[in-house]
Amino acid sequence: MISIKKSAIFRKMTPLFKSHYSLGRSILTLEDKNEADDYPDSIIQIAKQNKLKELFLVEDNMSSFLEAYTNTKNNNIKLNYGLRVTVTESINDKTDESRQKNCKIIIFFKNKRGHELLTKLFSIAAKTGFYYEPRLDYKTISKNWSDDLLLCIPFYDSFIFNNTLRNSICIPQFNFTKPIAFIEDNDLPFDYIIKDKIEKFSQENKLELFKTKSIYYNNKKDFKTYLTFRCINNRSILNKPELDHMSSNEFCFESYLKAK
C-alpha cells in the first residue's frame, strides 16, 4: 500500500519526477530497465542506478499509475504518486475570462482510499470541468476531500506564480485542509521573486515549506532533445519555442544530484 506521512516526507531536497504519460512535458519513461541504452531514459532506471528507495511522481493525468505502481513494486521502490491539476474559481464557468483564474495544485494520495478519491477528482476534472484542459474548483475538491489526500502548492504555475507573473486573478481557498508548499531553484530569472512570495505566504499561513526539484529529463545534455520534443508538441520551432521555462537546462536529475 502506498502511504505518505506528512511529517516524514520532503526531509531534504526531493526530486519530483514526471513521465512521458504527462503528454509533452517529459521525455522520461517508466520502463523497467537497469541501465541507459539507445532508447529514452527511464525513471525506474534512474532510481535503480542511484539506489533511490522511494520515488515522487507528479503527473498531469492518472494514466501512468498502473505502470508506475507495477514497476516500483517489482523493484522494492516506494511510490508516492501525485496529480498536478488545474484549479479554477468554478468548473461551470467555461469562458475565456475564467482562464485568468486558473492555476495549478498538486494532490498526493496516501493510501488506497486516497487513490480512489484522487481518481474520482480527476474524472470530474476531465469530464465536468474540462475547458481546454481538465479543471477542478475548490468547492469540488472540498466536497471530496479527506485526510487520505495531501495538497501541495507547486513552485511553478501556482496561484502565487500566476498572480505575480501573469496578472491572473487566482484566489486560493484552503479552508478544508492545510497544504504544504514547494520551492525550487532552476536558475530562471524570476525564481527568486517566486521564492520570496511563497516563503512569505507560508510564514503568514504557518505552512510547511520544502525544497523540491522538478525533473523532466536525466542529464543536462538531454535538454536539446527535451526542447525539441516540447516544440513538436507545441507546433513551434527551436529558434522560437514559445514555451515557458525553456531558458534553463536545470530540470534534470543531474542538477538534482549536484544541488541536494
Q: Are residues 140 and 168 in contact, defined by beta-carbon separation less than 8 angstroms?
A: no
Ordered alpha helix ranges (H), the chain = 43-49, 65-74, 112-126, 138-143, 159-165, 191-204, 223-234, 253-259
| pLDDT value of position 211 | 96
CA pair distance 3, 108, nearest whole angstrom: 10
pLDDT in tens, the chain (260 residues): 454 554 445 567 999 999 999 988 999 999 999 888 878 999 999 999 999 999 999 999 999 999 999 999 999 999 999 999 999 999 999 999 999 999 999 999 999 999 999 999 999 999 999 999 999 999 999 999 999 999 999 999 999 999 999 999 999 999 999 999 999 999 999 999 999 999 999 999 999 999 999 999 999 999 988 888 777 666 665 555 555 656 789 999 999 999 98
**How many other C-beta atoms lie within 10 A of the C-beta of residue 243?**
14
117 in any annotated domain = yes
173 in any annotated domain = yes
36 in any annotated domain = yes
Tell me which residue range forms the domain holding 164. Answer: 14-259
Q: Are residues 194 and 166 in contact, defined by beta-carbon separation less than 8 angstroms?
A: no
8 in any annotated domain = no
3 in any annotated domain = no
6 in any annotated domain = no
Task: Write the CATH number for 108.
Answer: 3.20.20.140
CA pair distance 177, 185, nearest whole angstrom: 27
Query: How many domains does the chain fold into?
Result: 1
Among candidate residues 207, 118, 214, 122, the one with its CA nearest the CA of residue 160:
207
pTM over 0.75: yes
9 in any annotated domain = no
